[in-house]
Amino acid sequence: MEKQEVPEGMFEGVISRYLPDPSEIDRKKGIARKLMDNLDSEIRKRGIKADTILVGSIARGTSLKNSDIDIFIRFSSDYSREELERHGLELGFSIFPKAVPRYAEHPYVSSILEDTKVDIVPCYRIEVNSGTISSVDRTPLHTIYMQGKLDESKIKEVVLLKLFLKRQGIYGSELRTEGFSGYVCELIILHFGSFLNFLEHISTLQGKLILDQREKRFSSPVVIVDPVDSSRNAAAAVSLDSLSILKAASRLFFSNPDEDFFNFDQVPEKKNVFPERGTHLLSMKMKRPDIVDDILYPQMKLACRKIKDFSKINELPLMNIFPYVDSESITILMEFSSPSLPAIEKRVGPPAGNQNIVAFITKHMESEDYARGPYVEEGRIVIELRRKYTQFHDIFMENMNHINFGKNLNRLKIKSIISHNQEEIKKSDAYNVFLKEERPYLSSGKNLKKK
C-alpha cells in the first residue's frame, strides 16, 4: 500500500487528551510524598532496614492521565523472603488499614486515595548488574536510570507510543497481554528518538526486533538488553503475536494516518459483523479461579493449545478457539467447520512389508467396531472402524479429563458446563467479543488508501 504523509499537527490533539497537566502531576506527587513520609516514619519506628522510593511512569514523567501511584519499599537483603513479605504487608496496612492485599510474585498492598489507585510494593535493594532476589527488585533501578534521560519532547513521544500500543491491545508486560511495558517504551524512544522513527522502522521490519545487533543470547521476538541488568532482556514478555500485531498496525497507520489509532477511550463499535457463519460452536464454561492473572492466563493459553493438539490428533475440524474471561467465569469458545465426524474412521497401519501387519489386521478385524478392510493404500495396510462417538460434544466430553488445562483449571473443568446449544452460545458475551475481535486495529470506518 502507498505510504501516506502524517498530517502536520495531528499528534497535538492526541497529546493534549492523554498527557496529564502539571496540576495532576503535582497533586499525585504530593500524595506520594505524604505517603512515603508516613511509611518512612513507620520504618524508623519499627527499626526496619528499608527505605521508600516512588517508581513507575509518574516518577519518570511518562504517565498518562489517571495513572496509578507506585511506591516501593526497598528492604535490605538481610531479610528473608518471608520477613520481607510480612514487613511489607504490615507497613502497607499501617498506612491503609482497609487496603486490599494483592498477590503477584509476593504480596503487596493496594488502595484508593483521592480517586487514585496506590500500590505499596516490597522489594529488595539491589545495585546495577548485581542480580535480583525477586523479579520486582529492578524496578527502582529502572526509575533511577530513566530520570533525566527524557526531556519534554521525548516524554511526548513515549506517550504517543504507549497510546498506539494500548489501542492495539499490546501495551503491558503482564502474561495476559504479552506486550510492551512502559519501561520498554521509554527505552525504544531513547534508541529511535521519536515515535514516528520507531514506527517507520517497524513498518519495514522483517523478523525480530533487536536493538543491539551484538546481542545473541536471547531468542525472544524482541530483544532490548536492560541497561540496569545486562543479563536480562527487558522485552522478554513481548510475544511473537504482539510484535506481529505491531508490524501490521504500523503499515495500516501509514496507509491512512488517523487519530483513531491513539484513541482507546471511545472505541468505535465494529459494524457489519456477519454472525451466521455456518459453523458449529462448542463452549466450555467454568468458575473463575481465585488466582492472579499471571497464573490464570498462561493456563488458559495452555488449555487452548492442548485442545488444538487434541483436535488435530482426532481429526476434528477446529477453525478457531477463543478464551474469554470476565469477573466471575472463564469460557473457552470452540468453532468447528461442522458438528460431527463420519461414522467410519480409517485406521492406517504399518507398511505392507512390516512384520507387525498380522497383529494389526487380527486386532482390528476381531474388534466389534470393525467395518471394512483390510486393504492397501499407498503401501500401508488400512482397516475401517466404526467410531464410538461422532458428535464433537460427545467426543470432547469423553476425553476432557485427558486434556491438560494446567494445575488450577484441571481441578475446575470437572464442574465445567459444556454446551453445544447454538442459539445459547450465540447470545453469550464470549461469542459477541469473538465476532468483534480486531487485532491489528483498523481505523474506524475509513477505507485504506490503495495504490
pLDDT in tens, 250-269: 999 999 898 889 987 766 66
User: What are the CA-CA distances from residue 35 to residues 54, 118, 387, 427 (Å)?
Assistant: 10, 10, 67, 47
User: Cell numbers at residue 312, please?
Assistant: 488435530
User: Is residue 451 predicted with pLDDT exceeding 70?
Assistant: no
User: Is residue 445 predicted with pLDDT exceeding 50?
Assistant: no
451 falls within a domain = no
327-344 tens-digit pLDDT = 999 999 999 999 999 999
Contact yes or no for 99/50 (Cβ under 8 A): no
Tell me the average pLDDT of the chain.
90
The 8-class DSSP code of residue 286 comes to E
* Same domain flag for 262 and 250: yes
403 falls within a domain = yes
441 falls within a domain = no
* Same domain flag for 381 and 258: no
449 falls within a domain = no
* 439 vs 342, more confident: 342
Domain count across the chain: 4
Work out the number of other CB atoms within 10 angstroms of the CB of residue 45: 9
* Same domain flag for 379 and 395: no
User: Is residue 25 predicted with pLDDT exceeding 60?
Assistant: yes
Determine the Cα–Cα distance for residues 59 and 140; give it in Å rounded to an integer.
10
Q: Which neighbouring-strand residues pair with 375?
A: 382
253 falls within a domain = yes
90-132 tens-digit pLDDT = 999 999 998 888 887 778 999 999 999 999 999 999 988 877 7
* Same domain flag for 64 and 190: no
CATH code of residue 424: 3.30.70.590
Q: What is the mean pLDDT of residues 313-335?
A: 94
User: Is residue 358 predicted with pLDDT exceeding 90?
Assistant: yes
450 falls within a domain = no
For the chain, give the percent of residues with pLDDT over 70. Answer: 95
442 falls within a domain = no
Predicted TM-score of the model (pTM): 0.86
Q: How confident is the model at residue 444 (pLDDT cuts 50, 70, 90)?
A: low
* Same domain flag for 324 and 314: yes
Last residue of a domain, which of 147, 167, 191? 147
Domain that residue 378 falls in: 344-386
Determine the Cα–Cα distance for residues 389 and 99; give it in Å rounded to an integer.
53
* Same domain flag for 143 and 153: no
* Same domain flag for 314 and 416: yes
446 falls within a domain = no
Q: What is the mean pLDDT of residues 191-220?
A: 90
Sheet strands (E) in 45-196:
50-55, 69-75, 100-103, 107-113, 116-124
Residue-level pLDDT at 450 = 45
* Same domain flag for 105 and 173: no
* Same domain flag for 19 and 128: yes
* Same domain flag for 227 and 190: yes
Last residue of a domain, which of 103, 121, 147? 147
